[in-house]
Amino acid sequence: MNPSQNLSFPALFSFGDSIVDTGNNNNLKTTAKCNFPPYGRDFMGGKPTGRFSNGKTPPDLIVETLGIKEILPAYLDPNLQIKDLYTGVNFASGGSGFDPLSSEIAMAYSLSDQIDFFKDYIVKLRDNAGEERANSIISRSLYLVAESANDIETSYFNTNIRRLQYHDDYPSYVSFLVTQASNFFKELYGLGARNFLILSAPPLGCLPTTITVAGRGSRKECIEKYNQAAQLFNTKLSAEIDSLNNNLPQSRLIYVDIYYSLLDIIQNPNKYGFEIVDRGCCGTGTIEVTLTFVEMDAVTSVVEKLKGFGQSSQNFVNGLLNRRENSYSRNPIEILKRLQREAFSDQMKLRDRQDKVERMLSFYRTSKGSPFQEAGTHIRGEVDALGAILLTGDIDEQHLEALDRAGIRTGIDARFAFETTLRQNDTLVAELVASEKGNGNLGDISGSPLSLAKLFYAANFTDWFSAIAIPVGAQCRDFGIPTDYTPQRKGLSSISSLEPPLLNQHNGTAIGLTVKNSNVVASLAQSVSGLGTPMGSDGIAQLFSTFGQVICQLPKGVKLSLFGLHQVPKSLHHRVSFGSIAIPVGFLKQHEASERMIEATAPPLGTNTLDIFSTGSIALKLESEIVEGTKIGGWIEMKNSHSKPVRWAVTMYDSFEDEVGWGVSLSGLSEGFKGRDQYQLESFADLSLGKRFKLKPGVAYVVDGNAKILALILRCNWSL
């Protein structure tokens, strides 16, 4: 990996086994840890850190080569600094594997545990950096994965569990491993990861441990069946990675073949400046890791401490070492094999007991528990304030209406979202909103105390099919691909957003379905607003809406979206109101935008309200990342009403990962032959003051018919 290639990753995250572990096993009750001498003797300060090496490990070398930082700390390091959250941490655990059995045998953290650590990390990062910057770090970072050695060597060849399960059919076991690996990559992708660096299996048959345990003794020759097993796994893993690259949009999964590179070093050590390649730097030459290595480490420490003592102490040490050598002379290979079999037997008994306990707990949770027992609730809050100095010649109704049409609303609002994960894949969200902003702002709740604004439940049945139910506060943007719709993304007004206004339309109660594949997402939703409210003065009691969208992921990161909204008002001959048995939920009366939408089609006073016609909107959106961190997007929306208004906007903005960001937007509104046109230009900067507070000073110039307004705007955003 060459820095001259202009690789730019804000952080590195590492998952896997001892090849990349930098100390997460230090506090585990496992033999798979190396937080004692002579490990780390060539590391900074000469101290052991839990790295399975005398010095730096591959994650350390990669993060240093990329210019991110000097070493990659373990996520479970008690001395981990907040600043390390921004540049990457290590989740790997020595002894783990794609096969869950591997981590059980080694009593290490499984890949499932490592995913849980990563989810916990995401929460901490968002709490410290804010959601916008955290999402950018997660999506732009590099993810290093190194697994499979423990699966092949230990779980399959050195135990009988998997061999019996697969009837000595190793290719079937490899297919299982590759499926596990693919699911792991997809889960990381679902959490926001996009750039993967995946290491192949090494030449396992040439490892000193493999040669010793397999029974070759002093014959330092590679064991071919282990190498062939690694090659078969690598072939299938490489093919699966190619498939994922074609099916996961905007992903880059790079397969790194370390097998032949290491094999060449082992077979031609002098070519690379090595002399000894058949044993570890500090081992016995018989077996280099696990229990016997720990024993030799103890002897090494004793010898170091006894240096300089008298001749009697030296004789004692020599005698101790001689006895140890004599004990090893009694067929050490058979002794090691017997110890290993006994250890595996004890671990399997422990595993059986754990399975029984887990089955009992599972039965208890299923029969007596609720879906909320194990759910964790994440709380996000945001306070947004906007103030403006208006430079205009006149203050009249025309200028006030121009501001309203421009989507500039001053005031303060606060939003609090409570998100709970249910049944692993489902999500329940409740959003509370309090606002002191004026009427007319698109999609905002105006002048209201703290109240329930949205209740949202998403059920993900499969990777390609999901359903959404929203009893309260449905918006068109709730369906399809979720987006981070923060004030930073909106700009100074709702018009300068990267999304057309119809996505912010409040539609009351809704249900919807979403289907997707690798490059296309399609959604269909049905909603009704006005439930529980009396009939309006225009004779409209309820408004039924149908929303559909298709989102296509095009090459080079370009995303094309098509939206459609059809609304049918329901009118009655006379005014009615629901009785006491109905639920007149006051905060559902959030349909100013809906009333405005059908106002153009409402009949004159005195006519029959049954002649009200349906209306609708259609919008097209295009978004792309022109350079790293800078996006440009545009949309156009047309309403099917009498005046057939057309609104459009083009926005370019920086992703605000750095302390200073910026944005510029040009938008317009045309109302046809008899209407007046509007044009609006916005420019703003984004300043980060700490981790949670942002200031956005900017200027907006609005031309609406004869009204011209220059506004100096300051937006403040505080994330909780």
User: Between these two residues, 75 and 366, which has the higher pLDDT value?
Assistant: 75
What is the pLDDT at residue 338?
60
pLDDT band at 540 (very low <50, low <70, confident <90, very high): low
- Rounded CA-CA distance 474/418 in Å is 16
pLDDT score for 612: 57
pLDDT of residue 297: 41
Least confident of 9-18, 284-293, 342-351, 451-460: 284-293
Per-residue pLDDT, 368: 47
- How many angstroms separate the Cα of 395 from the Cα of each of 205, 404, 407? 84, 13, 17
Low-confidence winner among 409-418, 448-457, 563-572, 705-714 (lowest mean pLDDT)? 563-572
Report the percent of the chain where pLDDT is more than 70: 71
pLDDT at residue 71 above 60?
A: yes
- pLDDT above 80 for 548: yes
For residue 632, pLDDT over 50 is answered with yes
Confidence of residue 318 (pLDDT cuts 50, 70, 90): low
* Whole-number pLDDT of residue 550: 94
Backbone φ, ψ for residue 240 (5° rounding)? -65, -40
Over range 522-526, report the average pLDDT: 93
* Cα 720 from Cα 718, distance rounded (Å): 6
679-681-687 Cα angle (round to 5): 155
- The pLDDT value recorded for residue 505 is 81
Output the pLDDT for position 18. 92
Q: What secondary structure letter does DSSP report for 674?
A: S
Q: 376 pLDDT band (50/70/90 cuts)?
A: low
Q: Looking up tokens 């192949």, which residue turns up?
A: 200
For domain 377-719, which CATH number applies: 3.40.50.2300, 1.20.58.390, 2.40.160.10, 1.10.287.130?
A: 2.40.160.10
pLDDT at 657: 52
Higher pLDDT among residues 289 and 228, named by residue:
228
3-26 average pLDDT score? 84
Mean pLDDT of the 404-425 span: 84
Report the pLDDT value the prediction gives residue 238, as an integer from 0 to 100: 96
Q: Please give the residue that has the higher pLDDT: either 209 or 485.
A: 209
Helix (H) or strand (E) holding 120, with range, is helix 111-129
CA separation (Å) from 432 to 123, 451, 671? Answer: 20, 5, 35
Residue 482: pLDDT band (50, 70, 90) is low
Least confident range of 48-62, 353-367, 594-608, 613-627: 594-608
Does residue 474 have a pLDDT over 70? yes
- 86 vs 80: CA distance, rounded Å: 12
Q: Which residues pair with 571 in a beta bridge?
A: 540
pLDDT band of 220, cuts 50, 70, 90: low
Question: Given a cut of 50, is residue 691 above it in pLDDT?
Answer: yes
Residue-wise pLDDT for 131-147, tens only, equals 889 999 999 999 999 99
- pLDDT for 361 equals 56
* Tens digits of residue pLDDT in 599-630: 444 444 444 444 556 788 999 999 887 776 68
Question: Comparing C-alpha atoms, which of 343, 300, 290 is closest to residue 324?
Answer: 300
Maximum Cα–Cα distance for the chain, whole Å?
118
Tell me which H or E stretch contains 460. strand 448-460
Mean pLDDT comparison of 291-300, 592-601, 653-662, highest-scoring range: 653-662
Residue 592: phi and psi, rounded to 5, are: -60, -40
C-alpha closest to that of 258 among 206, 178, 200: 200
Confidence grade of residue 120 (pLDDT, cut at 50, 70, 90)? very high
- Percent of the chain, pLDDT > 90? 34
Asked whether the predicted pLDDT for residue 298 surpasses 50, the reply is: no
pLDDT of residue 372: 44
For residues 567-587, average pLDDT = 52
Is the Cβ–Cβ distance between 451 and 440 less than 8 Å? Answer: no
Per-residue confidence (pLDDT) for residue 304, from 0 to 100: 44
Where is average pLDDT lowest: 186-195, 301-310, 621-630, 666-675?
A: 301-310
- Is residue 384 a contact partner of residue 703, using CB atoms and an 8 Å limit? no
Bond from prior residue into 38 cis (ω within 30 degrees of 0)? yes
608 vs 672 pLDDT, higher one: 672
Strands 559-571 and 540-553: antiparallel
In this predicted model, what pLDDT tens digit does every residue of 227-260 receive, in sequence order?
999 999 999 999 999 999 999 999 999 999 999 9
**What is the residue extent of each domain of the chain?**
3-288, 377-719
Q: Report the DSSP beta bridge partners of residue 467.
A: 459, 513
pLDDT of amino acid 282: 54
Number of separate helices (H) and strands (E) present in the chain: 17, 20
- Selection from 63-77, 401-415, 653-667 with the highest mean pLDDT: 63-77
Whether the predicted pLDDT of 409 surpasses 90: no
What is the residue-averaged pLDDT of the chain? 78
Q: In this structure, what token pair is assigned to residue 53?
A: 């090496």
Instruction: Among 8-22, 268-282, 512-526, name the most confident range.
Output: 8-22
- What is the C-alpha to C-alpha distance for residues 263 and 279, in angstroms, rounded to an integer? 14
Q: Model-level pTM? A: 0.50
Question: Is residue 37 over pLDDT 80?
Answer: yes
- The superfamily in CATH containing domain 3-288 is SGNH hydrolase (3.40.50.1110)
Res 284: pLDDT: 47
More confident residue, 625 or 388: 388
Q: What is the pLDDT of residue 653?
A: 83
Check residue 27 and give its pLDDT: 87
